[in-house]
């Protein structure tokens, strides 16, 4: 099984090619800008360095949010275009789950992404990446946590995703039609929020 | 002659479009998905919503286009994409999509300037005749361009502030017309008479345009009437505004044609659909023995057919991008 894993939901680009449960190419690097123009060269570098062509790919795992709106859109556009072109299964994964796959001694792992003004995107997972609390947009102070919880993400325990663990968790997930795959922003645009407020009042 | 099939991609604002054009002028199939109804809820294009919608529809649009053309990606010779100017979050969906296709299918990637696309809307089903002057009028542009030959652009004048389409939309707001208001101002102008004294915008010896002054004059007139308790005659205001705008566009275009000794005029961009402008330019061209080309309405607004057409000529002169193609919100036409 040849898989491509793409995560562009933060300022880091995390791309891996795996073959039968082994990572054979991995790029994890900070990208300050121009994610959209750097992603295909990185994927090409990956396939140039392994022994098979992108056309032999079996499956794509795409981290479709939440996180940087632009970053997520770039990753989703690339993933759905490859999956559509090659007609291969596409599997969406939560960015918060990827963060929560970081190794820690604690019982529960909280994947966190800053969402500004004291808010965060947060998802709580156990060590086996089972969902304990669904991903959501929440004020940081409203997170109901105790010593059993490890906070992971920028400003907390450093995120160090275990890509194979994430892939193995989702290897048998039902795939999604690339036409239907959307970024999971977990948040409406400001314009939509204002329009909803206006309509509700 | 062997045929060259260019796949065009356009996503610079609120239309997601893919098209296949043969040899730069023969349209095989086009799909345009407009987001206009969504943005109408907000009184204008919301960039973040536009980007979101492009991502959701891009693969659907290409699949539909290939189906319509009865073609596969393997039969495509090159991929042309609008890299700018436009809304950056929207453009980069198109460039990312195009770069991915270029990589997977190993096809050349051709970067196309959006305005070059609008100009080449006049090359669909027919071919440009050179030398020519292009009047580019849209929501984001007002430019006079001299072209000696294919894909050679010399900008001889442009707007110093608002684009003409932008001025139309702002005036539409003053007249309480719903979004997108430009076409409604055009329509309404035919129901009125030219009674309001508005200035002829930037009536000088340059080829530049300025529409913020006349826009302010419309706002001030409307405001003053309101203060005096008098009613603004909307149709008359639309007529007065349109007359002035059309007059200056026609006047400066004619001067450019004469100075450059050119007998071909092409009109491009969304405002090329404006009937007042079309009528005025037609009349001017007949009087001065100038051949006028205005695209069909469907090619005036944003579409990928014009991008594929322009892409053919861009490719011919050797324009090619790598898979690290960057979207650019602002970029000079050259």
Q: Is residue A194 part of a domain?
A: no
* Interface contact A81-B104, CB threshold 8 A: yes
Q: Considering just the CA atoms, what is the radius of gyration of chain A in Å?
A: 17
Q: What is the DSSP letter of A10?
A: S
A150 to each of A129, A163, A166, B211, how far by Cα in Å? 13, 19, 18, 58
Q: Is residue A140 part of a domain?
A: yes
Paired tokens of A143: 């997170």
Say which CATH superfamily domain B5-121+299-316 falls into.
ATPase, nucleotide binding domain (3.30.420.40)
Query: What burial class does residue B76 get, using C-beta atoms within 10 Å of its C-beta: 0-12 exposed, 13-18 middle, 19+ buried?
Result: buried
A88 to each of A83, A168, A173, B292, how far by Cα in Å? 5, 18, 14, 50
Alpha helices, DSSP H only, in B86-159? 88-105, 114-120
pLDDT of B269: 94
Q: Determine contact, residues B6/B315, Cβ cutoff 8 Å.
A: yes
Q: How far is B326 from chain A (nearest CA, A)?
A: 5
Evaluate the CA torsion angle B57, B60, B65, B68 in order and state its sign.
negative
Of A9, A20, A37, nearest to A167 by C-alpha is A20
Q: Determine contact, residues A111/A93, Cβ cutoff 8 Å.
A: no
pLDDT of B140: 86
Paired tokens of A81: 């275009």
Paired tokens of B201: 């915008």
pLDDT of A198: 87
Among B51, B102, B325, the residue with its CB nearest the CB of A73 is B51
Burial B227-261 (b: 16+ CB within 10 A, else e): eeeeebbbbbbbbbbbbbbbebbbebbbbbbeebe
Of B298, B235, B304, B332, nearest to B76 by C-alpha is B304
C-alpha atoms less than 13 angstroms from C-alpha of A47 in its C-beta half-sphere:
17
pLDDT of B256: 98
Separation between Cα atoms, residue B311 and residue B111, nearest integer Å: 7
Domain that holds residue A56: 2-187
Longest dimension (CA), chain B: 70
A126 to each of A132, B66, B185, how far by Cα in Å? 7, 45, 60
Tokens 């109804």 correspond to what residue? B37
Q: Determine contact, residues B134/B268, Cβ cutoff 8 Å.
A: yes
The domain spans of chain B are 5-121+299-316, 129-293
For Cα atoms A134, A74, A130, give the angle at the middle one, nearest 5 degrees: 20
Q: Is residue A160 part of a domain?
A: yes
Evaluate the CA torsion angle B96, B73, A43, A101 in order and state its sign.
positive
Convert the pLDDT of each residue in A57-114 to its tens digit: 999 999 999 999 999 999 999 999 999 999 999 999 999 999 999 999 999 999 999 9
Chain B hits for A46, Cβ within 8 Å: none
pTM for this one?
A: 0.96
List, in order, residues 6 or more apart from B276 with CB less than 8 Å away. B186, B189, B190, B242, B243, B245, B246
Of A188, A185, A163, nearest to A72 by C-alpha is A185
Chain A hits for B14, Cβ within 8 Å: none
Total domains in the fold of chain A: 1
Say which CATH superfamily domain B129-293 falls into.
ATPase, nucleotide binding domain (3.30.420.40)
Per-residue pLDDT of chain B (334 residues; tens, 9 = 90+): 699 999 999 999 999 999 999 999 999 999 999 999 999 899 889 999 999 999 999 999 999 999 999 999 999 999 999 999 999 999 999 999 999 999 999 999 999 999 999 999 999 999 999 999 999 999 889 999 999 999 999 999 999 999 999 999 999 999 999 988 999 999 999 999 999 999 999 999 999 999 999 999 999 999 999 999 999 999 999 999 999 999 999 999 999 999 999 999 999 999 999 999 999 999 999 999 999 999 999 999 999 999 999 999 999 999 999 999 999 999 999 8
| Mean per-residue pLDDT of chain A | 96
Instruction: Please enumerate residues of A whose Cβ is less than 8 A from a Cβ of B.
Output: 34, 36-41, 43-44, 54-55, 69-70, 73-74, 76-78, 80-82, 84-86, 178-179, 182-183, 185, 189-192, 195
CATH code for the domain of A103: 3.30.420.40
| pLDDT at A201 exceeding the cut of 90 | no
Q: Is residue A201 part of a domain?
A: no
pLDDT of B44: 87
Among B49, B58, B96, the residue with its CB nearest the CB of A36 is B96
Q: Is residue A6 part of a domain?
A: yes
Whether residue B107 has a cis bond before it, omega within 30° of 0: no
User: Beta strand pairing status for A119-126 and B291-293?
Assistant: unpaired
DSSP collapsed to 3 states, B239-291? HHHHHHHHHHHHHHHHHHHHHCCCCEEEEECHHHHCHHHHHHHHHHHHHCCCE
B129-293 shares the fold of B5-121+299-316 = yes
Among A43, A178, A191, the residue with its CB nearest the CB of B42 is A191
Separation between Cα atoms, residue A61 and residue A5, nearest integer Å: 5
pLDDT of B163: 94
Paired tokens of B239: 């007529």
Of B79, B104, B99, B105, nearest to B322 by C-alpha is B99
Separation between Cα atoms, residue B140 and residue A132, nearest integer Å: 49
Q: Determine contact, residues B182/B196, Cβ cutoff 8 Å.
A: no
Q: Is residue A163 part of a domain?
A: yes
B129 to each of B120, B123, B300, B316, how far by Cα in Å? 11, 9, 19, 17
Among A43, A77, A189, the residue with its CB nearest the CB of B97 is A77
Q: Residue B276 CB: number of other CB atoms within 10 A?
A: 23
């Amino acid at each position: 099984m040849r898989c491509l894993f793409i995560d562009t939901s933060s300022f880091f680009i995390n791309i891996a090619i795996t073959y039968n449960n082994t990572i054979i190419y991995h790029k994890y690097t900070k990208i300050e800008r121009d994610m959209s123009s750097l992603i295909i060269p990185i994927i090409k570098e990956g396939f140039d360095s392994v022994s098979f062509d992108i056309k032999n790919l079996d499956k794509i795992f795409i981290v479709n949010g939440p996180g940087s709106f632009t970053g997520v859109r770039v990753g989703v556009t690339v993933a759905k275009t490859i999956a559509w072109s090659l007609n291969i299964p596409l599997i969406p994964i939560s960015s918060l789950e990827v963060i929560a796959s970081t190794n820690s001694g604690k019982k529960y792992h909280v994947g966190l992404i800053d969402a500004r003004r004291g808010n965060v995107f947060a998802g709580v997972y156990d060590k086996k990446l089972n969902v304990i609390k669904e991903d959501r947009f929440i004020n940081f102070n409203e997170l109901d946590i105790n010593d059993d919880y490890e906070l992971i993400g920028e400003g907390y325990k450093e995120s160090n995703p275990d890509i194979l663990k994430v892939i193995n968790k989702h290897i048998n997930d039902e795939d999604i039609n690339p036409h239907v795959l959307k970024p999971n922003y977990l948040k409406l645009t400001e314009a939509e929020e204002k329009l909803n407020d206006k309509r509700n009042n | 002659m062997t045929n060259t099939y260019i796949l065009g991609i356009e996503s610079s604002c609120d239309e997601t479009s893919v098209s296949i054009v043969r040899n730069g002028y023969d349209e095989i199939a086009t799909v345009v998905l407009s987001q206009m109804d969504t943005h109408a809820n907000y009184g204008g294009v919301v960039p973040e919503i536009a980007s979101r919608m492009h991502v959701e529809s891009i693969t659907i649009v290409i699949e539909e286009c290939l189906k319509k053309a009865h073609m596969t990606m393997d039969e495509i010779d090159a991929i042309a994409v609008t890299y700018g100017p436009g809304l950056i979050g929207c453009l980069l969906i198109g460039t990312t999509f195009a770069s991915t296709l270029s990589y997977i299918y190993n096809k050349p990637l051709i970067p196309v300037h959006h305005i070059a696309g609008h100009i080449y809307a006049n090359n669909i089903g027919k071919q440009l005749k050179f030398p020519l002057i292009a009047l580019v009028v849209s929501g984001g542009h007002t430019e006079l361009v001299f072209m000696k030959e294919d894909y050679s652009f010399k900008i001889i004048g442009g707007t110093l502030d608002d684009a003409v389409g932008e001025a139309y939309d702002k005036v539409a707001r003053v007249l309480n017309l719903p979004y997108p208001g430009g076409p409604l101002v055009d329509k309404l102008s035919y129901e009125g008479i030219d009674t309001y004294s508005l200035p002829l915008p930037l009536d000088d010896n340059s080829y530049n345009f300025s529409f913020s002054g006349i826009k302010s004059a419309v706002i001030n007139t409307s405001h003053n009437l309101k203060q005096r308790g008098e009613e603004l005659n909307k149709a008359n205001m639309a007529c007065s505004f349109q007359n002035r705008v059309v007059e200056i566009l026609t006047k400066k275009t004619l001067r450019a044609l004469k100075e450059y000794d050119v007998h071909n005029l092409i009109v491009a961009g969304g405002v090329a659909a404006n009937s007042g402008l079309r009528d005025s330019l037609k009349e001017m061209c007949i009087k001065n023995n100038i051949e006028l080309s205005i695209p069909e309405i469907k090619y005036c607004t944003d579409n990928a057919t014009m991008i594929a057409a322009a892409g053919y000529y861009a490719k011919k002169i050797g324009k090619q991008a790598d898979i690290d193609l960057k979207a650019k919100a602002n970029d000079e036409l050259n």
